[in-house]
Chains A and B, each alone.
Chain A
Amino acid sequence: MDPQACNEACLVCMGLILVLSIFIGFEVIFKVPSRLHTPLMSGSNAISGITLVGAVLAAGSAGGTISLILGTLAVVFATVNVVGGYVVTDRMLRMFQKKPGRRQG
């Protein structure tokens, strides 16, 4: 396969992944009840911190000082997003979870 054809195949593949992910997202999230909308938002917000993967690649590869600075800044921001997002969501969901336990006990 010549490089051009490979590149096109990759694009089609990424497009397919994108479209299917959107559909799965809609399917799963439509079922989240409104009382859990805040944790849904902060939880999915933490997932959007996945940019961290891109940031790690940018900060670690040899691309000169500027891209090192850009990458490291991106890593800091994305990590705040990821760690903060998951911890805060957990704090919230712990409160939601308490009630059934107390009712039984």
Chain B
Amino acid sequence: MNCILLINGTYIVAAVFFIYGLKLLTSPETARRGNLVSAVGMFLAVAVTLLNNEIIDFKWLLTGIAIGGVIGALFARLVKMTQMPEMVALFNGFGGIASLLVGWGAYHVMPLAGIFELTTVFLAVLIGGVTFAGSLVAWGKLSEIIPGRPVLFRGQTLLNGTLIVAVLIGGSVFLSNPAGGYPVFLGIMLLSLVLGVLVVIPIGGADMPVVISLLNSYSGIAACAAGLAISNNILIVSGALVGASGIILTKVMCKAMNRSLYNVLFGGFGAVAKGSEADVDGEVKPISVQDTYFLLEAASAVAFVPGYGMAVSQAQHVLKELGDILEGRGIEVSYAIHPVAGRMPGHMNVLLAEADVPYEKLIEMEEINRRIANIDVCVIIGANDIVNPAAREDATSSIYGMPIIEADRSKTAIVLKRSMAPGFAGIDNRLFYKENTRMLFGDAKEMLGGIIAEFKGG
């Protein structure tokens, strides 16, 4: 009895650690300590659980912890900062499958539990399954194992709707006859996995920040449902915290793209938008590395606008080097960050932090737009849709209304880009055809390196 009191008391302490840890995440100075506090909370929660007298066999669970710990630590140490989005997606999926398995285990041990427990088992399996399969697809898309473009087919929405109805019917059949419901239960599990794949497959690369946030939220909700299924308070508290965090991030991301969550999930963004290509006027004007150097050298204020292309070519370090050279010459340098630049929330901030760019130099979209007319040269590094003026000018464009970094309003915009291929939204970028835009074709890292060489040589 005392043991139960100790366990539950420690769970309360762990919950406090989690909340306080998240609170410390609100400032870069304290964030690392916050993560540590949260980890200590996790350690306490797991360690004290081992005292539970229901546990009679430690062999397998300790083996499992050892295996998982080694794999997790290796993953986390070896992953490159540019691979962070797919890593987060994969970990989300692992959380989801763990919740599914816990729900399954709970049902296997007590198939005749009350209606409440079985409902939560159903939810844990359903949400856990969707999280797992969806995260794996997101991981595949982000690491380019499968195509990042939206995969659409006829009757997709109808199929998804039918599956959701099937899951709900399966759920009620299962709940009305839990004892004989094992086949139905396994069917629900299978459907949830299929549903997870189908929900993420039509979503394009540029929408990945929304999807990752949403899956993050699901992994929390799944843990929460698993907690309700086995009546464990610490699972409920932590799951709810993560669920809330994911929902907030999802909302922020949707707002930054001026789209509703429904539109992201069912819109099949990017596959249909070709309409406005024809009416783009003007021509593309390429620029050489040397001319770029002259432009930059003569500037007094320069803004860098990084996008996913910077991550792909790992150009953050050379970018910072160039920024330092410019600053050394008395040029005002800022880094303009769009909220959905890259493939996950805050992606550009992480990469630039890796390159040691002080965070006060990272300027948010609203602020840079206020002073963009005073920027002499705006250098866009592998960003596309987030600087596309079609968002302001073309009411027929699929990104119309999305807040953008208005690079076209700066005095000169230089776009570093591999080729003229459209961005992940699949639409042509009007910025490339503007009078004051110059295109610097090539790999971002090489081109920036070339400009640096010009500075050092000149």
Contact = CB atoms under 8 A, between A and B. Distances in A.
Interface in B22-80: 22-23, 25-29, 31-32, 34-36, 38-39, 42, 45-46, 49-50, 52, 54-58, 60-61, 63-65, 67-69, 71-73, 75-77, 79
A73 B101 contact: yes
A11 B233 CA distance: 11
A24 B237 CA distance: 10
A45 B104 contact: no
- Is chain B's interface secondary structure helix, strand, loop, or mixed overall? helix
A85 B77 CA distance: 11
Contact of A43 (B25, B77, B106, B358): B25
A58 B102 contact: yes
B258 to A, nearest CB: 16
Nearest to A31: B26
Contact of A96 (B28, B56, B116): B28
Nearest to B64: A75
Given A43-B25, A46-B42, A54 B230 contact: yes
Interface in A53-105: 53-64, 66-68, 70-100, 102-103
B241 A21 contact: yes
A30 to B, nearest CB: 6
A105 to B, nearest CB: 13
Contacts of B73: 83-84, 87
A101 B189 CA distance: 50
Given A14-B233, A34-B346, A96-B353, A51 B223 contact: yes
A6 to B, nearest CB: 12
A44 B76 contact: no
A98 B355 CA distance: 11
A93 B69 contact: no
B248 A49 contact: no
Contact of B28 (A36, A44, A86, A87): A36
B76 A83 contact: yes
B226 A7 contact: no
Contact of B45 (A50, A61, A67): A50
Contacts of B72: 79-85, 87
A84 B353 contact: no
Interface stretch (B148-156, B159-167, B213-221, B449-457): B213-221
Interface residues of B, number: 110
Contact of A29 (B61, B244, B359): B244
Interface string B221-233: 0111011101111
Contact of A70 (B32, B108, B237, B339): B108
Given A39-B25, A83-B69, A56 B61 contact: yes
Mostly, the A contact residues are helix
Contact of B237 (A17, A35, A58): A17
Contact of B349 (A24, A38, A72, A82): A38
Nearest to B256: A34
Q: Which one of B88, B101, B240, B243 has the greatest number of beta carbons of chain A within 10 Å?
A: B101
Given A42-B88, A57-B49, A77-B97, A84 B75 contact: yes
A91 B76 contact: yes
A9 interface: no
Which of B223, B234, B359 has the most chain A CB within a 10 Å cutoff?
B223
A47 B57 contact: no
A92 B99 CA distance: 26
Contacts of B19: 24, 28
A61 to B, nearest CB: 5
Nearest to A89: B35
B252 A47 contact: no
B115 to A, nearest CB: 11
B35 A99 contact: no
Contacts of B222: 48, 51
A79 B20 CA distance: 22
B204 interface: no
Given A11-B116, A57-B52, A71-B61, A44 B242 contact: yes
B202 interface: no
B213 to A, nearest CB: 7
Given A17-B237, A54-B227, A60-B57, A72 B64 contact: yes
Contacts of A76: 64, 67-68, 71
B345 to A, nearest CB: 4
Interface in B183-223: 212-213, 216, 219-220, 222-223
B356 interface: yes
User: 8 tightest A-B contacts by CB?
Assistant: A79-B68, A25-B244, A60-B55, A75-B64, A37-B346, A83-B72, A84-B72, A21-B240
27 contacts: A32-B22, A33-B26, A35-B362, A36-B25, A41-B213, A41-B246, A41-B344, A43-B38, A48-B219, A51-B99, A52-B46, A55-B102, A57-B49, A58-B101, A60-B56, A71-B64, A71-B102, A74-B102, A80-B71, A82-B72, A83-B72, A86-B38, A86-B39, A88-B91, A91-B77, A92-B84, A99-B359
Given A36-B25, A39-B35, 4 more contacts: A21-B237, A55-B61, A75-B68, A82-B46
